Chain A
Amino acid sequence: DAKTTQPTSMDCAEGRAANLPCNHSTISGNEYVYWYRQIHSQGPQYIIHGLKNNETNEMASLIITEDRKSSTLILPHATLRDTAVYYCTHKDRNNFNKFYFGSGTKLNVKP
C-alpha cells in the first residue's frame, strides 16, 4: 500500500510561512506526489503535485527531497482561510488512478 505519514496538527501565525511535512518512503520512481486540502464541510481540493523537481503555483510551493522519500508543502503567507486539513498522497504503484489518503495535517492559522 502507498502510505504517507504526516503530523496530526500544526499551528501557524497569520502572514507567516506554513511548512507542512510528509514522509512517503514507499513512493516508487514513476509516482507523483500530490497535495490536497479540505476546508471544513467541503470535499478535498487539489493544491499541487510534483515528481522530483520543486514546483510552485499560485497556491503553494512543493519541495521534494532528492531521494523522494519526503516532501514539504509551503504556504508562503498563510491566511486565516488556509485553516484546513492538508493531505499528502501519491499514486499507487499498482494502479495509477488510485490515491491513498491518510489522516492529513490539521493546519490552524492563528491571528
Chain B
Amino acid sequence: DVKVTQSSRYLVKRTGEKVFLECVQDMDHENMFWYRQDPGLGLRLIYFSYDVKMKEKGDIPEGYSVSREKKERFSLILESASTNQTSMYLCASSSHRAGTRGEQFFGPGTRLTVL
C-alpha cells in the first residue's frame, strides 16, 4: 500500500516559534507538495518539489520555506509562526513516470494551531 506520512496530526505552537512539518513518502515519487486547507478556500498550494534539492513556489509561499534533502522527505518550515498560519497542512506526492496515472497521494494532514 502506498503511503504518505506526516510527522504530527496535531500541533500547537506559539507566535514567533520556528515550526517544522515533516512529510515522508515510500513510493519513490519525484514530486512532493505542501498545501494548506482553510474553510471555504479549498486546498492552496504553498510549495512543491520535483526533485531532490529542487523547489518551486506555489500560490501562497509567503511566510514559508521548504527543504528536500532526500527524495522521500519534504519539510515545510514556518520561520516565525503567526496566528494566520493556523490551518490544516496537507502533504502529497506524485510521479510523472510513464505508465503512472499522475494522481497525487495525500498524507493525513497536520492541524497546526498558532497561539
Contact = CB atoms under 8 A, between A and B. Distances in A.
A9 B106 CA distance: 23
A42 B108 contact: yes
Interface string B95-111: 01000011111111100
B49 to A, nearest CB: 10
Interface residues of B, number: 26
A94 B109 CA distance: 27
Chain A interface main SS type:
loop
A46 B31 contact: no
Contacts of A99: 45, 104
Contacts, number: 56
Given A97-B48, A98-B48, A103-B42, A43 B96 contact: no
A68 B94 CA distance: 24
Interface string A1-41: 00000000000000000000000000000001010100001
B50 A97 contact: yes
Contacts of A49: 101-103
The 3 closest A-B pairs by CB, nearest first: A43-B106, A101-B43, A46-B103
Interface of B: 4, 31, 35, 40-45, 48, 50, 56, 58, 90, 92, 94, 96, 101-109
6 contacts: A34-B102, A36-B104, A96-B102, A99-B45, A100-B45, A101-B42
